[in-house]
Amino acid sequence: MEERKPCIFLVDDNIVNLNMGKNALQHKYTIITIPSGEKLFAALKKLRPDLILLDVEMPGMSGYDTIKGLKINPETANIPVIFLTAKSANENELQGLSLGAVDYITKPFSPPILLKRVELHLLLQSQRDVIREYSGNLIDLVSERTDDISALQNAVIMWAAEMIEFRDSETGHHVDRVQRYLGILLEAMMRMPAYTAEVDSWDTDAFMKSALLHDVGKIKIRDDVLLKPSRLSDEELMDMQLHSLYGKTLLEKLENKVPNQTFLEYAKVLAHRHHEKWDGTGYPDGLKGEEIPLQARMMTIADVYDALISERPYKKALSHGEAMGILMEGRGSQFDPILTDLFMSLSDRIRAVSEARP
């Protein structure tokens, strides 16, 4: 099979230059001679050359105008262009190069030099094409691996969340519902100027994943405390409260093994701080007001709401309205007042999630 010759468009309004260029190159390349910039664009609709030799000074559309048209079109922008010109001033050469030409050859040109410059730039373009293809394949591979890693990450998070629920069977799908409440709240916060700057700085996908791990510390709570079918004693309550510290410690250990995982940073905040209260009476450190991270203040509202509407051996499930009433009672004491008001304004959407429980 005969090897394909590279195709070169030679664009010049001077028939002598066209013939000289064709004679110098045609033994090695397929040469298409074109008398103007306007006819070059007509030819490009039918055929894509490997390189364009372009005269600068032509009537009608100049070489400079022509290369501008080539570079603004994504389909022709990467075709290498060598200018042919009788001009030799540095500023003219600089102008051509700044517009995207790869080289400048002064007329009258030497055929051997023209041939060698064309060979060089076709070789460079071939190498660029290889690199571009390799880069594209590499991007696809990285994207594929990233998707695989993300899927594995999601699976591990869900596994951990299900392990928590397996031990604390009364919570049912608590972590899943809480994540959905947070999503509704987060969406509304993105539209509020008071929160826009901070929320825009978050990796919201990572934050939403992390919500599933807010109770991960319960894995270390004794069964006789975690599964007790009646209210906890004061001593048992203190043991249960340790789950916020256990959660932080477990996630720090995981973070040491797999550093630079944004979702673990968020998960650590949620696990550690979701029982802090706005008035400073929460645990484990009695943080107050905006000392409590915003993510944790969000989680506190969503977590308490779901606990209120869920049945436990020692209490009946409250209605949506009753739960919302209790949240309002805790506005400014247990809960961030602005976030509480926002949660209330989303009542219908919150109710829809809570009533869709399996």
Mean pLDDT (the chain) is 85
pLDDT in tens, 178-213: 999 999 999 999 999 889 889 999 999 889 888 888
Q: What is the mean pLDDT of residues 284-299?
A: 96
pLDDT at 197: 87
pLDDT at 106: 83
Q: What is the mean pLDDT of residues 257-266?
A: 82
pLDDT at 300: 97
Structure-model confidence comparison of residues 293 and 259, the more confident one? 293
Token look-up 């209210």 returns 231
Confidence of residue 172 (pLDDT cuts 50, 70, 90): very low
Q: Above 70 in pLDDT, residue 88?
A: no
Contact indicator for 67, 99 with CB cutoff of 8 Å: yes
Confidence of residue 330 (pLDDT cuts 50, 70, 90): very high
Q: Above 50 in pLDDT, residue 347?
A: yes
Q: Above 70 in pLDDT, residue 214?
A: yes
Q: Above 90 in pLDDT, residue 261?
A: no
Structure-model confidence comparison of residues 58 and 315, the more confident one? 58
Three-state DSSP string of the chain:
CCCCCCEEEEECCCHHHHHHHHHHHCCCCEEEEECCHHHHHHHHCCCCCCEEEEECCCCCCCHHHHHHHHHHCCCCCCCCEEEEECCCCHHHHHHHHHCCCCEEEECCCCHHHHHHHHHHHHHHHHHHHHHHHHHHHHHHHHHHHHHHHHHHHHHHHHHHHHHHHHHCHHHCCHHHHHHHHHHHHHHHHCCCHHHHHHHHCCCHHHHHHHHHHCCHHHHHCCHHHHCCCCCCCHHHHHHHHCHHHHHHHHHHHHHHHCCCCHHHHHHHHHHHHCCCCCCCCCCCCCCCHHHCCHHHHHHHHHHHHHHHHCCECCECCCCHHHHHHHHHHCECCCECHHHHHHHHHCHHHHHHHHHCCC
Q: Above 70 in pLDDT, residue 356?
A: yes
pLDDT at 149: 58
pLDDT at 161: 63
Q: What is the mean pLDDT of residues 7-19?
A: 92
The CA distance from 304 to 334, in Å, is 10
* CB-based burial label for 139 (10 Å; 0-12, 13-18, 19+): exposed
Structure tokens of 144?
């594929």
pLDDT at 127: 76
**Minimal CA–CA distance to 211: which of 143, 298, 281, 145?**
298
Indicate whether this model's pTM tops 0.85: no
Contact indicator for 304, 346 with CB cutoff of 8 Å: no
Contact indicator for 161, 219 with CB cutoff of 8 Å: no
Q: Above 80 in pLDDT, residue 139?
A: no
pLDDT at 109: 79
pLDDT in tens, 246-258: 989 988 888 887 7
Contact indicator for 330, 305 with CB cutoff of 8 Å: no
